[in-house]
Structure 1
Amino acid sequence: MAEPRPRTRTAAVVVLLLAPLLALVTPASPASAAAVCAKPKFVTTEPHGMASSGVYTVDNDMWNASGYHMTQRLRVCSRSRWTVDVKVRNPTDKAVKSYPNAHRDYHNWSTGHEPRLSSFTKLRTSWAARTPGKGIYDAAYDLWLNGVADADSNEVMIWTDNRHQVPFGHRAGHLWFNGIKWQVWTGAGHQYIAFTPPRRLTHGTLGLLRPLHWLVRKGWLRKKTTVGQVGFGFEVVRTAGQRVRFATSRFSVSSARK
């Protein structure tokens, strides 16, 4: 079972503005990991090295790697096309060490303002990813609500791929959305919620409003919930002492508001 994963936002060590780069359009189907980002425009091994432009950021996000023997190299061609090579010497615990990801911010980092969930008429996202089939990890969306990774935030994850992982908390029901019956997990007084699919998903498009409004109706999210961030990436636990590669070849978030 995954151990509790409280996260706090850490200031970036490396930031590179990539306005033209992050606007690139990517193909709809998954590409081979080697071909995803053959000529990166940004490379980092810094724990919080990131490439940012406008509302999108790609982040190495080694948020819990301190104290572990771990290396992680992020190569970015665009917000959609990036790879990360990870090696973790075999620890005995089951804690998530890092979450390399791409995300779109709705949180205004200057003012702290976030739009209300009730103001959205559309919130959709597409992804395509490859995982190594070695070690312990999951591929997942990470949705931050009511702030981003602070004490009062809610974290809602939508897992798309899983190798030997179980979400934090306990099973609490199921929900059909996007044609899939998802198992629902919750923990820490509903501050952490995860949806897991019945099978591995490598690419697709998800509408996010149905599951989020369902959580509000259940009382697990407050009625005046705000949307802070929508991200997709890989939660890394172990790599069996080997270097493994994760890759994405598509990521986008589209939205409309009243």
Structure 2
Amino acid sequence: MPRPRIVALIALLCSLLGLSGVAGAQVATAAPVLCDQYASTSIQGGRYVVGNNRWGTSATQCIDVSGTGFTITQADGSTATNGAPKSYPTVYYGCHYGICSTSDNILSPNGLQASDPQFASVATSVSMTYPGSGTYDAAYDIWFNKSRPSTTTGQNDGAELMVWLNHTGAIQPIGSKIGTASIAGATWDVWSGNTGWNVISYVRQQTTSSASFLVNDFWKDVVSRGLGSTSWYLTSIQAGFEPWVGGTGLAVNSFSVTTGGTQPTQSPSPTQSPTPTTSPTSTPTTPPATGSAGCTATAAVTGSWGGGFQATVTVKNTGSAALSRWSVRWAFPGGQTVNNLWNGVASSSGANVTVANAPYNGQLGGGGSTSFGFVGNGSAPGSLALTCTAS
């Protein structure tokens, strides 16, 4: 989708004139609610940028910024569902139209080439909340430039990689459907179009409110279809919403980008409105071992509501040797099933569930730990008998 240029132009003009006040006014530093068309602010010490980005309408849109994301609190007007959306309120890592996240940003100011070894380890996670009405998509927008950009103030000319986690109403991605793909533990419909740059959209066949993945897992599929190249440069990773009708109540609860093989973190919220009613319960399994690679898995129910619950499982390397892979198995005691799962790859057969490590969190040094979480259907179990296997 087109993106605004006005912020970049003002920033460039101020730079040439040696001014700072005007450009600074475009990036708020302490504004909890953003209503100006292209207003933005940084969060988490500058690691991420949150932007209102109301580019497709003159109607008012306001977002309430939190320390980990934002919520749309006002979304006036509407646009035709066979055309462009009203906006793309977003939280992002990297640089977009001259506005960059400043803390631990490996993409600034010239992007990261997809052939760079660091690119393979870039991972991201998001957790979202959806209202009960409106027409919108909930999607990542990941931007690539064909050549190493000298600045990141303009429009990317390579590819716009979109990852649709959810969508409502009579909307569809740009272009046409060209196939399907199995990526990040899910099946996706793949769409391709061009608006001056390639737009490749992956639409999840089963919608979800949370996701964790390696950017390279999608980019490899893009390249295999001849729609991108490993010579192109990643410039930003964004997560947000494209509303056509309504949008109030859409929220990014948490968002993260990690590099160097570290684990993305998130605190997912299901599409329901759960009220935690259960105190966390822990079930340690395999006894600790030393001098070799072994693991334990501990489950904690962190919340429950009518017809569902949320749990976190912590995996720990109990030996002194490093392990490269792990898996956790259990059987639900009362007909429960997994709805959404993050930071792992799940498979199930009846009541039996197996969760293997994701590509980015399998390696654990001696004494190291990681975790995955899931939202389950059914009543919260009192305990889960977990078995952890390491190699």
TM-score by length of 1: 0.78
Find the structure with the greater CA-based Rg.
2
Q: How many residues align?
A: 224
Question: Given residue 96 of structure 1, which amino acid in structure 2 is its aligned partner?
Answer: P
- Cα deviation, 1:54-106, whole Å, max 9, x if unaligned, reads 3410000101224xxx221111121x232112333344454211011100006
Instruction: Please list every run of 5 or more consecutive structure 1 residues that lacks an aligned counterpart in the other structure.
Output: 19-40
In 1, the alpha carbon distance for the partners of 2:6 and 2:193 equals 23
Q: Judging changes above 3 Å, is the alpha-carbon distance between structure 1 residues 92 and 138 closer, same or farther for their aligned structure 2 residues?
A: closer
Give the % identical residues: 27
SS in 1 for 2:62: strand
Q: Is 1:205 the equivalent of 2:215? A: no
- Cα deviation, 1:161-205, whole Å, max 9, x if unaligned, reads 100121110001111111111110000176111000112111131
Query: Is contact 1:75-1:82 (8 Å) kept?
Result: yes
Q: Is 1:160 the equivalent of 2:148? A: no
In 2, the alpha carbon distance for the partners of 1:95 and 1:48 equals 17
| Equivalent residue, structure 1, for 2:87 | 98
User: What is the deviation of 1:228?
Assistant: 0.4
Query: Is contact 2:158-2:232 (8 Å) kept?
Result: no
If asked which structure has higher relative contact order (CA below 8 Å, sep 6+), I would say 1
SS in 2 for 1:104: strand
Deviates most, 150-159 or 225-234 = 150-159
| Equivalent residue, structure 2, for 1:117 | 114
Question: Given residue 47 of structure 1, which amino acid in structure 2 is its aligned partner?
Answer: Q
Deviates most, 90-99 or 179-188 = 90-99
| Equivalent residue, structure 2, for 1:14 | 26
- Across the aligned residues of Structure 1 and Structure 2, the Cα RMSD in angstroms comes to 2.5
In 1, the alpha carbon distance for the partners of 2:73 and 2:55 equals 16
Query: Is contact 2:27-2:41 (8 Å) kept?
Result: yes
TM-score by length of 2: 0.53
Q: Is 1:81 the equivalent of 2:80? A: no
Query: Is contact 2:57-2:87 (8 Å) kept?
Result: yes
Question: Given residue 211 of structure 2, which amino acid in structure 1 is its aligned partner?
Answer: G
In 2, the alpha carbon distance for the partners of 1:205 and 1:155 equals 19
Question: Given residue 114 of structure 2, which amino acid in structure 1 is its aligned partner?
Answer: L
Q: Judging changes above 3 Å, is the alpha-carbon distance between structure 1 residues 198 and 73 closer, same or farther for their aligned structure 2 residues?
A: same
| Equivalent residue, structure 2, for 1:175 | 181
Q: Judging changes above 3 Å, is the alpha-carbon distance between structure 1 residues 245 and 92 closer, same or farther for their aligned structure 2 residues?
A: same
Instruction: Please list every run of 5 or more consecutive structure 2 residues that lacks an aligned counterpart in the other structure.
Output: 9-24, 101-107, 262-391
Query: Is contact 1:169-1:188 (8 Å) kept?
Result: yes
Query: Is contact 2:97-2:155 (8 Å) kept?
Result: no
